[in-house]
Structure 1
Amino acid sequence: MLAPVTYAVRRISAATRRHTRRWATSPRALDVITALSCFSLMVLDVPGLAQGDNSLTGLTATLVLAAGAATLVVRRRLPWLPYLVALVLLGWLHELTLIQFALYSLGRFRGRWAGTVATVGYIAVAYALFNLPGWPEHQAGTLSEFLGLVVPIGVLASGVGIAAYRQDLVRELEAQRAETAALQAVQDERTSVARDVHDLVGRELTVLAVRAEVLSVRARGTAHHKDFEELADTARRAHLMLNDTIVHRADERTATPGLEGLPALARESERMGSPVTLEISEAARGLSPLRQTAVYRVVQECLTNAAKHAPGERVAVSIGLDTGRLRVAVGNPLPAAAPPTEPVSSGTGTFSMRERVESMGGTLTAGAHEGVYEVVALLPAGRLPRGEPGRLPR
């Protein structure tokens, strides 16, 4: 009988401890602790306040200070409230404790501008009170004493608050960067998975289309000939839809243009000092978007390399179909002299081009011949799906 009771007590105790820890580290709890800390420091001045001001007793002075310290509970939402109350207590009871907490809160939760304005206002009010008869009560000191006590109190409290405010901004920025990096990693992983799905499923659809075509040829003249043709067309359409759905949408944030983007690349290269001669055959314009993207990337990298290593030389770009294969050739004369400054290059441009071309079943060669540096990429051109002239599958 005692075991269930003991277990329940332990569960309640553990839940209470968790709730207490969460509350103790919450902003509201910190504000309450700040108010209590301020009040505990001001209570030390109660005997002197009751003696110096005949209108207050020990009890009433304690209540006044408690009310002033209680304004710190709302210091995050209304930081100017404890500041104004602190100025009142400064003139009435010569109390400097609350103003330090108020200036810190303004700097911490409203930043440099509010902290600076509040500090200047505090110094101005304190200086005016300093010149009034009876404040402070013992004016054995002079203006230097005022500057050496009252001013540093305000400047230090406000400065610490502003520094904490800036640190909060830094932490928030770091958190946002970490969140952005995490989201980017998730997006990159999704893109990678989508491309893997495209490659694997696309391969199977291609195999299905090829086998259906073979069966269609074998079944020619039979009742199943038309069925196999429809099956092959369905597989090809599914492959095209897979490309449109995964390849395009998975990379829509940095969608690469096709052949239509090459004139803009040529104009950009000319602005960099390397004129471009661009020749694109009409047959090449019917290429699938995936092949056009590969062509765009190859030409883009070649023009970038030409601008780096052969500035001012004319670049010839030729894109066409040659015996059923797509041929991309980019060439430029080698410069008579080396560039005056060593070009900035990562050295991975040609490797990236070759990797992209070979991943599509093509080849890429690059090198100098008879004073001309030429890059030639050969890729499978694909074949037109039935009933869709002018289009090539990817």
Structure 2
Amino acid sequence: MRVMHGEPEQSTPASGVPAVHRAAARPRTGTESRTGDRSRTAPASRPAAAAEVIWRAQAEGRHSLLDRWSVSARGFDALVALSCFALMLFDVPGLAEADNSLTGLTATLVLAAGAATVMVRRQAPWLPFLAGLAYFGWLHELTLVQFGLYSLARYRGRALGIGGTAGYIALAVVLFQVPGWAPHPAASLADFLSAVVPLGVLACGVGISAYRQDLVAQLKAERAEAAALRAVQRERGAIAQDVHDFVGRELTLLNIRSQVLARRARDTAHEADFEDLAEAARRAHLLLNEIIVARADGRAATPGVAGLAELVEQSERAGSPVDLRLCDAARRLSPIRQAAVYRVVQECLTNAIKHAPGERVAVLIAEDGGGRLTVEVRNRLRGAGAPGPAPAAGTDTGTGTGTFSMAERVRSVGGEFTAGPEDGSYVVRATLPTGLG
């Protein structure tokens, strides 16, 4: 869009709408849709292995070409630049007829060069802004300066956006005073500013709004990452406490048995060996107590597969029936591995109660014959048009950190973990070594 020379009623461009009226007809010329346009991506750092599961599950599926371009900042900027160029093409006939030594071809090339500056609007938003001011002073072109003001406010914040808008208005006032520059010599300064100022203010305002949305999105992403980190750390603490309870008990038994054997082997060649073994068990137990502090929250150790029946009863009392199939191999697992199985089932049943109440939950715990145990929990997503995977929830209501806890617990025993929608159901699947030989 450009400010035309001559009388408004005699300066109707090819589109059949006067330049000033076209500004009113498309008040969003200098802005663009914010769909998929994000100046800040979620922080690159994620909680190592546990967080990777969630992003991998959410990344599955096919995306359209537009979706992929929306994710790519460079691709989206190319679309914005093309949009800017397409809008400026409406002014080519007027530029070719005006007294500026431009033909239709050269005017198109000049406008294309200006639109190309929009490609760097994230890294250098000053470039399209300054180019827009230059085109405004030379060709009375307003489209590019609107894109420049939006980019300046969007990617550099409110202060610079307002400063750029003030500079644009000041330039308009100065140019209007230049003899022969004003598009309508008979028009007053107020009439001229009433046509050009609202466009710049609108572009800056939309840019500031988008900038604030980016800040909110970044804050939410940082909070989600912090919640995930806290969940992983809590689960690691619970794992360490379980190790303390289970391993400490075995070390205590080893110490007692070694002392008994030492007494039986008194006055024999093996007495010293058994005493050394008992002393080593005592030192290991003391070291374990020093490394892993005593349980501060008073909770008991995580139950094993024997506690699954109670979980099923609790779930059914809450209105979610459960079909539990448990193989004998699960009962022979070590206490640490049984605790991992229990935590996965516990988180999944809690998730089902919160996000799919009343739906039947199928829990399958089976040995695959290759020395590995598979834990699969499946429940149907509510409604045919249910959105993507509902966040797993444990004690962290609504934050989705339960999935991180499950993944951390499974990986701590050398297992693998996946979670996501599958054939209309939400499926959590954990595979861990049995360690049964």
Please, what TM-score do these two structures have when normalized by structure 1?
Answer: 0.56
Match of 2:118 in 1: 72
Q: Are 1:61 and 2:107 matched, yes or no?
A: yes
Match of 2:278 in 1: 232
Code of the residue aligned with 1:173 in structure 2: it is: L
Match of 2:323 in 1: none
Distance 1:53 1:69 in 2: 22
> Compared with structure 1, are the counterparts of its residues 173 and 17 closer, same or farther at alpha carbon in structure 2 (3 Å cutoff)?
closer
Distance 2:169 2:65 in 1: 43
Please, what TM-score do these two structures have when normalized by structure 2?
Answer: 0.51
Give 1:158-307 correspondences, 5 Å limit.
158-247=204-293
Code of the residue aligned with 1:158 in structure 2: it is: C
> Compared with structure 1, are the counterparts of its residues 163 and 24 closer, same or farther at alpha carbon in structure 2 (3 Å cutoff)?
closer
Code of the residue aligned with 1:136 in structure 2: it is: A
- The Cα shift of 1:91 comes to 0.8
Code of the residue aligned with 1:111 in structure 2: it is: G
Q: Are 1:131 and 2:177 matched, yes or no?
A: yes
Match of 2:89 in 1: 43
Match of 2:316 in 1: none
Indicate if the aligned counterparts of 2:259 and 2:274 stay in contact, CA closer than 8 A: yes
Q: Are 1:117 and 2:183 matched, yes or no?
A: no
- The Cα shift of 1:126 comes to 0.8
Distance 1:201 1:34 in 2: 61
- The Cα shift of 1:94 comes to 0.7
Distance 1:204 1:25 in 2: 53
Distance 1:37 1:226 in 2: 87
Q: Going by fraction, where is helix more abundant, 1 or 2?
A: 1
Match of 1:88 in 2: 134
Distance 2:160 2:241 in 1: 52
SS, match of residue 133 in structure 1: coil
Match of 1:343 in 2: none
SS, match of residue 153 in structure 1: helix
Match of 1:34 in 2: 80
* Identical positions, percent: 63
- The Cα shift of 1:216 comes to 2.5
Code of the residue aligned with 1:68 in structure 2: it is: G
SS, match of residue 157 in structure 2: helix
Distance 2:62 2:223 in 1: 35
Match of 1:269 in 2: none
Indicate if the aligned counterparts of 1:91 and 1:129 stay in contact, CA closer than 8 A: yes
Q: Residue by residue, what CA displacement relative to the aligned partner does 1:210-245 show, whole Å, maximum 9, x if unpaired? A: 222233334333333322221210110111222333
- Larger RCO (CA within 8 A; separation ≥ 6): 2
- The Cα shift of 1:58 comes to 1.6
Code of the residue aligned with 2:178 in structure 1: it is: L
Q: Residue by residue, what CA displacement relative to the aligned partner does 1:150-173 show, whole Å, maximum 9, x if unpaired? A: 221111101111111111111111
- The Cα shift of 1:25 comes to 3.7
Distance 2:287 2:62 in 1: 57
Code of the residue aligned with 1:38 in structure 2: it is: C
Indicate if the aligned counterparts of 2:172 and 2:193 stay in contact, CA closer than 8 A: no
Match of 1:335 in 2: none
Runs of at least 5 residues in structure 1 that lack an aligned partner in the other structure: 1-14, 252-394
Deviates more, 1:64-73 or 1:206-215: 206-215
Code of the residue aligned with 1:149 in structure 2: it is: A
Bigger radius of gyration: 1
Q: Residue by residue, what CA displacement relative to the aligned partner does 1:316-338 show, whole Å, maximum 9, x if unpaired? A: xxxxxxxxxxxxxxxxxxxxxxx
- The Cα shift of 1:194 comes to 1.0
Distance 2:221 2:121 in 1: 24
> Compared with structure 1, are the counterparts of its residues 201 and 54 closer, same or farther at alpha carbon in structure 2 (3 Å cutoff)?
closer
Distance 2:207 2:185 in 1: 30
> Compared with structure 1, are the counterparts of its residues 181 and 203 closer, same or farther at alpha carbon in structure 2 (3 Å cutoff)?
same
> Compared with structure 1, are the counterparts of its residues 17 and 190 closer, same or farther at alpha carbon in structure 2 (3 Å cutoff)?
closer
Aligned length: 236
Distance 1:232 1:86 in 2: 83
Indicate if the aligned counterparts of 2:69 and 2:76 stay in contact, CA closer than 8 A: no
Distance 2:93 2:170 in 1: 28
- The Cα shift of 1:24 comes to 5.2
Give 1:6-45 correspondences, 5 Å limit.
21-23=67-69, 25-45=71-91
Q: Residue by residue, what CA displacement relative to the aligned partner does 1:41-83 show, whole Å, maximum 9, x if unpaired? A: 1111112222222411222111111111111111111111111
